[in-house]
Amino acid sequence: MIFMNENIAESIGMFLENKIREKILSNVPPPNAESTIKRKGSSHTLIDDSTLLESVTHIVETDGEDIKITIGILDPEVAEYAAPNEHGVAWDNRPKKGTENTPGREWFIPPRSFIRSTFDEEYENVLADIEKQIVTNVKAKLSGK
């Protein structure tokens, strides 16, 4: 008998979705370069407009007893620019490499993890929530509710 269900999965998905949004709004370090601040008119990292923030979502899929939760930036067009921010782009791998020589510069876009870091930070909370919800389901099942 399985006590994990779609309601628990949906709750986990929404919890992590909201935590990722909170992370984006937290102004993830390192700070933007002066050239970036000048171009976009703001020093807030990860936010040019609200597209990235609004694109955080989750999907719960079931296949028999298997439940899969997918959380993150699922729109391929948004993921195309979310990924370089999540993982960073090394200076030597930057697009449109010019002849500009910048000794010692490591990053074209520094990593500003907002998905992986959220999962790492919230892992224990998610496990505790799953355990709590499963215990509630078991107790309800045993009491006939």
Residue 120 is predicted with a pLDDT of 97
Nearest by Cα to 72 from 20, 131, 139: 20
Average pLDDT over residues 112-136: 94
Please give the model's pTM, rounded to 2 decimal places.
Answer: 0.86
- How far apart (Å, rounded) are the C-alpha atoms in residues 141 and 128? 20
Which tokens in the block code for residue 23? 């992370």
The dihedral formed by the CA atoms of 128, 131, 133 and 136, expressed in degrees to the nearest 10: -130
Per residue in 73-111, pLDDT (tens digit) is: 999 999 998 999 999 998 887 777 655 666 677 788 899
Lowest mean pLDDT among 10-14, 41-45, 105-109, 126-130: 105-109
Residue 1 is predicted with a pLDDT of 47
Which single residue is written with the structure tokens 């010019």?
98
Which tokens in the block code for residue 29? 């370090």
